[in-house]
Structure 1
Amino acid sequence: MAGDRRVRFRVVVSEDGLMLRQLICRRFAEFGVQAAADLIKAGGVYVDNVRIRIPSVRVAKGERITVYRAAASTVALDAEDLEIVHRDPDFVVVNKPAGVPARSTRASARGTVAQALVHRLCADGHLRPYVGPVRPLAPGASGLVIYTVRDQEAVSHQPAFVEADLVSVDRLVVEGEAPATLRCDAPVLMARSGRLKAVSADTFGARPARTDFRLLERRAGPDGAVRSLLEATATRAEGEQAAVHAAALGFPIVRGATAGEDSASEPHAGDPYREGEPAAGAAHLHRAKITLVHPLRGETLVFEAPPPAWALTADERGA
């Protein structure tokens, strides 16, 4: 079974009372005691529906164990590599790299921007800091993400920031020949899987959303098919709203390199549009600008993150 898929089983009578790390060793030949403990600390193991990160927790007969083996190979993001665009007592704005989760995923709590930000704040003297992502981007996208920040004793302002007026300007590459302008006002909903999707207005929990698209450039893909570089202005800016709305209009977003292609660290000679493109699993979506009305102070704040090479037009690249 692939390491990025979950494995589920129930604790049997002979395993009753074992420590969680012992149980993992017993069930999975590839994990020794230390490796099993590391997997648990990385957030790759659940007891029933609760993520457990303490290897010495004891299990009981009948409990359902869920294991995501991919968590063992997830590398933590170095806090020093974190690009902080703005820092305020209430929140921080980070320029998230493509392919790095903004927050914990179902499979792992390691290797996220949120984890690196906590480590950065601890190094700066914060006592047990808590960070809360505000309408974060999906792991594959890059660009600006807001995190509320508080210390152990402080009140969380995350709910206020989540409901604040926020407009994003994203750049994305989509399949197909898009017209000069487009608009989509389909409501969106965050599914239980963590994916944002466009839904009908009568769907329970749906939130109003609107995205206006402007064509910046048309270009040829590796197979010769036409692709379009779009600038998307999204109200409320729920995660990958621009990509979801583009797909709803018939223009799915282009994902990163596929198996067998070069990675983002290996430029594609002779093809300026693929130089520095997202690696496998990433997306051609970059949040270049956000305008936020601060929910506590009422002031309008604007933050920007320069687009990567793939998101620039030929004129912007000087080609």
Structure 2
Amino acid sequence: MPQTTIHLDATIPPDLAGKRLDAVLARLFTDYSRSRIQQWIEAGWVRVNGVAPRIRDKAAEGAVVEVRACLDAPGEDAPQDLPLEIVHEDDCLIVIHKPVGLVVHPAAGHPRGTLVNALLHHAPELTHLPRAGIVHRLDKDTSGLLVVARTLEAHTDLVRQLQARTVGREYLALVQGEMVAGGTVDEPIGRHPVDRKRMAVVSGGRPAVTHYRVEERLEGFTLLRVSLETGRTHQIRVHMAHLRHPIVGDPVYGGRLRLPAGLPDGAIETIQGFRRQALHATRLTLVHPGHGDTVSWEAPLPRDMADLLACLQGG
């Protein structure tokens, strides 16, 4: 079976020093699972300061990590001829406008019909890349822009950009309540202590930073423009709920819908019928791995969210 070699490098930051090496590497190299990293360590494909470590070794601050691992190809995911809205495509990148309802990666309950299946049909060479070249995710019911690497070099570069926080990701989010001003949420996110299917702001979670500013104030609601420094699971949804301004329609973190007095019956019906989080990845900015220039793309709101916003605006 043909193989692809991946090259990963990192330096252990102070906040991860003293933790188990496999857990630390899973945090640093977020495209790969902890179990896969353990396999790499056991195979001798990981070096820390030039020495092959053990899985249970503790990470030391400032230690230099080098990974030279082999990935078998092709993967198990099957190509499928599914529609894709391609915003941009070149030899290095594919930028996708993901619709609401499309799952990104195959998983239990969604083995087919995913973005990965569609990408493997459109660009079969992606079978040789980790996660079919996808370097960041969007939830199933979040729409918007997502970048895919077409080469291993581009994939490595984009992962490094994400780790360095030089990839700009802006979202439009309609939240409950009228917010006076923008701000920043700097609160760690981890698994909910009781409901393990949910995320929450927890003291032992991973660092998470979300910036937001008011795009438009509406009666009882606020449209926010949100940007991410980090990319934790459900980050915007969790942080907005933490502020007690949950995203409209969020089935997990939204809580009880609060409707302002005097809202027209048509608007009430539209809001109550909106059954997914009103969150859209509207702008993506990055340094192109090929030519080094800063590039950006924008995607308009999907029809359902645009109609909801127009209804609240009195349109």
Give the TM bin, normalised by the shorter chain: 0.5 to 0.7
Go from structure 1 to structure 2 and tell me whether the alpha carbon gap of 1:273 and 1:309 turns closer, same or farther (over 3 Å shift): farther
Write out aligned runs for 1:27-106 (5 A): 79-106=81-108
Deviation at 1:144, TM superposition (A): 0.8
For the 8 Å contact 1:93–1:144, the answer to whether it is kept is yes
2:141 counterpart SS class: coil
Deviation at 1:237, TM superposition (A): 4.6
> Is 1:249 paired with 2:243?
yes
1:183 counterpart SS class: strand
CA-to-aligned-CA distance 1:101-139 (integer Å, 9 cap, x gap)? 1112333321211211111113xxx48454132221111
Go from structure 1 to structure 2 and tell me whether the alpha carbon gap of 1:317 and 1:182 turns closer, same or farther (over 3 Å shift): same
Go from structure 1 to structure 2 and tell me whether the alpha carbon gap of 1:161 and 1:91 turns closer, same or farther (over 3 Å shift): farther
Give 1:213's aligned residue: 213
Give 1:28's aligned residue: none
Go from structure 1 to structure 2 and tell me whether the alpha carbon gap of 1:318 and 1:94 turns closer, same or farther (over 3 Å shift): farther
Deviation at 1:190, TM superposition (A): 7.5
User: Which of 298, 304, 307 does residue 304 from structure 1 map onto?
Assistant: 298
CA-to-aligned-CA distance 1:232-262 (integer Å, 9 cap, x gap)? 12234545432222111111112269xxxxx
Deviation at 1:156, TM superposition (A): 5.0
1:230 counterpart SS class: strand
Among the aligned pairs, what percent are the same residue?
A: 28
Deviation at 1:96, TM superposition (A): 0.8
Q: Which amino acid aligns with 1:109?
A: P
For the 8 Å contact 2:178–2:218, the answer to whether it is kept is yes
Deviation at 1:94, TM superposition (A): 0.8
Contiguous gaps of at least 5 residues in structure 2 = 1-34, 36-77, 252-264
Distance 2:198 2:148 in 1: 19
Give 1:283's aligned residue: 277
For the 8 Å contact 1:182–1:214, the answer to whether it is kept is no
Q: Which amino acid aligns with 1:198?
A: V
Q: Which amino acid aligns with 2:216?
A: L
Distance 1:227 1:77 in 2: 42
Write out aligned runs for 1:65-214 (5 A): 79-122=81-124, 126=125, 128-130=127-129, 131-150=132-151, 157=156, 159-164=159-164, 165-189=166-190, 197-200=200-203, 203=204, 206-214=206-214
1:168 counterpart SS class: strand
Go from structure 1 to structure 2 and tell me whether the alpha carbon gap of 1:156 and 1:168 turns closer, same or farther (over 3 Å shift): closer
Distance 1:120 1:150 in 2: 14
Query: Please, what TM-score do these two structures have when normalized by structure 2?
Result: 0.56
Distance 2:238 2:100 in 1: 17
Go from structure 1 to structure 2 and tell me whether the alpha carbon gap of 1:255 and 1:209 turns closer, same or farther (over 3 Å shift): same
2:123 counterpart SS class: helix
Go from structure 1 to structure 2 and tell me whether the alpha carbon gap of 1:293 and 1:197 turns closer, same or farther (over 3 Å shift): farther
Deviation at 1:175, TM superposition (A): 2.2
Deviation at 1:304, TM superposition (A): 0.8
> Is 1:232 paired with 2:215?
no
